[in-house]
Amino acid sequence: MKADIHQQIQELIATGEIEKLSGERRARVQEHLDSCEVCRGFGEAIGGVERALHSVGIAAGAALVSSTRARVHHRAVQLEQQQQRLWMVSMGALLVVLSTVLTTPVLFSAFAWMGNALGLPDLVWKFSFVWFWTAPALLVSVLLSARGAHWTSRHSSVRG
């Protein structure tokens, strides 16, 4: 324990840490409180302040209630719009996956037919298929990344 036992006990009382102490240590603190009038008085004073604070009723003014309701309503609308956007993005992603699953075999067959018709080696027409199949996604990814970087740098300079 600290050199000044009174200060330590009063800190425990003020922070409400006495209830969290282990059995033996709590018993020592209680023993000190039983024998020390200063610390016991401090504890009683803190208890009185706590009781007084709990007995005070706090009422919010009409303006506070009104502005809080408006903010809660505004946030609820934002969350609903966000949920709607998320649903739209999810449906869009589902459509992209479905169209990819349905068109990839057809596109692959078309590239194979064109490659054979033109007498191209398998490696050439297969590479062309992969490039044709992935290039749009890569382009969109680059554009979205650039837009995101632009968005971040623009908003960080406004805040900073």
Spell out a b/e string for 70-109, using b for 16 or more CB atoms within 10 Å of the CB, else e.
eeeeeeeeeeeeeeeeeeeeeeeeeeeeeeeeeeeeeeee
Q: Which amino acid is at 147?
A: R
Looking at the chain, the number of H-run helices and the number of E-run strands are: 5, 0
For residue 1, the model assigns a pLDDT of 46
For residue 160, the model assigns a pLDDT of 43
Instruction: Pull the structure tokens for residue 35.
Output: 């024998």
For residue 111, the model assigns a pLDDT of 93
For residue 96, the model assigns a pLDDT of 87
Residue 84 CA from chain centroid, whole number: 19
Tokens 């699953």, located at residue: 101
For residue 123, the model assigns a pLDDT of 93
Residues of the chain with pLDDT under 50: 1-2, 157-160
| Dist. CA 146–CA 101, nearest whole Å | 28
For residue 158, the model assigns a pLDDT of 46
